[in-house]
């Protein structure tokens, strides 16, 4: 496929819809077989060593599948009821490196659950592999603004 800004934006917006709708199975289908989903902790960025520093999330494919499997369970209490969410993805920048598309975008997410609304924000960094029908996610790192604050429930998808 041809890599255009329009195609990159369309993919990120599509992903945002799946996340907001908690369509976790469809979201999982976007990921490459070898992948890394990373949310660093303690205000750190992607220069930290996740083998020496704790992360909020550091999933390979197997752990990501476990996460989705659990989230879909009727006993995932922290998502019963589910978070109602809507996010805006913007400030999208991208470049092509060795056949992969590296994107950097901002998100602003309103999350409502059990009478409490939270505002979450951060920077998402995607590494995307061009595929016949769009892209596959090779890696996604979310630098969450709140990553050094006390958080009660981050079991929805970022």
**Footprint of other proteins (CB under 8 A):** 39, 41-42, 44, 50-58, 60, 62-63, 66-67, 69-70, 73, 75-78, 80, 148-155
Asked if the peptide bond before residue 33 counts as cis, ω within 30 degrees of 0, the response is no
State whether residue 156 is helix, strand or coil: coil
> In the complex, what is the shortest distance from the CB of residue 137 to other proteins, in angstroms, rounded to a whole number?
18
Nearer to other proteins by Cβ, of 81 and 99: the residue is 81
The closest alpha carbon to 104, from 116, 113, 94, belongs to 94
- Calculate the alpha carbon distances from 19 to 2, 70, 125 in Å: 25, 16, 16
Q: Which is nearer to other proteins, 99 or 115 (CB)?
A: 115
Residue 48 CB, shortest distance to other proteins, in Å, is 8
Q: How far is the CB of 5 from other proteins (least distance, A)?
A: 31
CB closer to other proteins, 30 vs 64? 64
Phi and psi at residue 83, in whole multiples of 5°? Answer: -65, 135
CB 11 → other proteins: shortest distance, Å? 24
Distance in angstroms (rounded) separating the CA atoms of residues 120 and 122: 7
Among residues 3 and 58, whose Cβ is nearest to other proteins? 58
């Amino acid at each position: 496929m041809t890599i255009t800004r329009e195609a990159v934006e369309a993919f990120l917006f599509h992903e945002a819809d799946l996340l907001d709708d908690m369509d976790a199975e469809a979201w999982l289908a976007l990921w490459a077989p070898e992948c890394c989903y990373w949310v660093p902790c303690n205000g750190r960025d992607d220069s930290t060593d996740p083998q020496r520093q704790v992360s909020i999330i550091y999933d390979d494919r197997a752990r990501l599948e476990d996460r989705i499997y659990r989230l879909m369970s009727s006993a995932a209490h922290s998502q019963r009821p589910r978070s109602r969410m809507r996010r805006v993805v913007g400030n999208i920048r991208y470049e092509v490196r060795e056949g992969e598309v590296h994107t950097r975008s901002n998100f602003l997410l309103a999350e409502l659950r059990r009478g409490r609304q939270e505002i979450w924000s951060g920077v998402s960094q995607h590494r995307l592999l061009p595929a016949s029908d769009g892209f596959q996610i090779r890696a996604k790192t979310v630098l969450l603004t709140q990553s050094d604050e006390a958080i009660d429930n981050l079991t929805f998808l970022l």
